[in-house]
Amino acid sequence: METLNSSDLIRDDEIFLRMNPAERIQHFLLILTFTILIVTGLPLIFYELKIFKTLMSFERAFYIRGVLHRIAAMILIVNIIWHFFYTIFTKRGRSNFKEMIPKFKDVRDAWDLFWHNVGLTQLLYKKGVLKTFFEKHPYWLFEKEPEFGRYNFIEKFEYLAVAWGSFVMIISGFFMWNVELSLRLFPLWVHDIFVIIHGYEAMLAFLAIIIWHMYNVHLNPEVFPMSKIWLNGKISGHELRTLHPLEYRKILEERKRILESESL
């Protein structure tokens, strides 16, 4: 058999499914509910801001804000329950979750990418500082970017942050919603902590989404102006090769194996 090129087995314009319709709907519901929860929650903290004063200027605005916050909270909870069952009871859900579990490699990837981006050791080497050390230990030059599998450490961290953040917001929000129950079960200071946590976690989540997530899926030069995966679920062979090389190679190996077993 002739030796096969990787481009023969995976064309750059071949389309792979990265997010199926169920995953896209879950992601869309998360965007929708999160936006409503932020817009209807933050006015309680930043009530002095002009934008919130204008938004809340009409009669019953505050009442409607509270109702919308609770409706969005319910949809968020249903969405999370759906995702939970999807993860447990579908093969694809289980496989995605397995790929999402953080490993030691993720810590190392974060470390390697940080120093690769900073470029300090390469600069020192170019200037002739510690030249013999770097020639003996080229790892410390961080010349190559780490290679990622189906999910990189940033995506894994974001997923964990959503899981942990939702848990915290649902528990604290539930007791803020049911104040009487909360005060029957806990002393007042515990309830006060629920309120504090709910507010600060909301700000943290808002900033994380605006700064981190938006950079990774919009502004990052590798995907600018926007990764369309959340809309059409598709990723090309080229994107797979450059952004998720380990997953790309896994598919390649599988195809090679199938081809070899067919030609036997």
Beta bridge partners of 235: 16
Exactly one of 75, 170, 208, 223 binds ligand HEM (CB under 6 A); that residue is: 170
Measured from the CB atom, the residue of 114 and 177 that comes closer to ligand HEM is: 177
| Contact stretch for ligand HEM (CB under 6 A) within 12-20, 85-93, 115-123, 166-174 | 166-174
Query: Residue 110 or 161: which CB sits closer to ligand HEM?
Result: 161
Binding status of residue 197 toward ligand HEM by CB under 6 A: no
What is the residue whose two structure tokens read 């709907």?
25
Tell me how far, at minimum, the Cβ of 69 lies from ligand HEM, in Å. 4
User: Does residue 202 belong to the site contacting ligand HEM (CB under 6 A)?
Assistant: yes
Would you list the DSSP string of the chain?
-PPPPHHHHS-TT-EEESS-HHHHHHHHHHHHHHHHHHHHHHHHHSTTSHHHHHHT-STTHHHHHHHHHHHHHHHHHHHHHHHHHHHHHSHHHHHHHHHHS--HHHHHHHHHHHHHHH-HHHHHHHTTTTHHHHHH-GGGG--SPPP--SS-HHHHHHHHHHHHHHHHHHHHHHHHHSHHHHHHHS-HHHHHHHHHHHHHHHHHHHHIIIIIIHIIIIISTTTTT--THHHH-EEEHHHHHHH-HHHHHHHHHHHHHHHHHHH-
Cβ pair 132, 125 in contact under 8 A: no
Shortest spacing between CB 30 and ligand HEM, in angstroms: 9
140 versus 174: smaller Cβ distance to ligand HEM:
174
75-114 mask for ligand HEM (x: CB under 6 A)?
-x--------------------------------------
- Any contact of residue 199 with ligand HEM (CB under 6 A)? yes
Q: Which listed residue (39, 45, 130, 217) binds ligand HEM by CB under 6 A?
A: 45
37 neighbors 75 (Cβ within 8 angstroms): no
CA atoms of 69 and 9, how far apart (whole Å):
50
Which segment (24-32, 48-56, 151-159, 198-206) binds ligand HEM by CB under 6 A?
198-206
Take residue 163 and report the two structure tokens written for it.
């899981």
Q: Cβ(75)–Cβ(166) under 8 Å? A: no
Pick from 111, 177, 215, 224: which binds ligand HEM (CB under 6 A)?
Answer: 177
Q: Considering only residues 169, 229, 243, 252, which one is a binding residue for ligand HEM as defined by CB under 6 A?
A: 169
For residue 110, the minimal CB distance to ligand HEM (Å) is 25
Comparing CB distances to ligand HEM, the nearer of 142 and 194 is 194
In the bound state with ligand HEM, the residue whose beta carbon lies nearer, of 10 and 80, is 80
Candidates 19, 23, 41, 146: give the one binding ligand HEM (CB under 6 A): 41
Residues lying near ligand HEM in the complex (CB under 6 A): 34, 37-38, 41-42, 44-45, 66, 69, 73, 76, 169-170, 173-174, 176-177, 195, 198-199, 202, 205
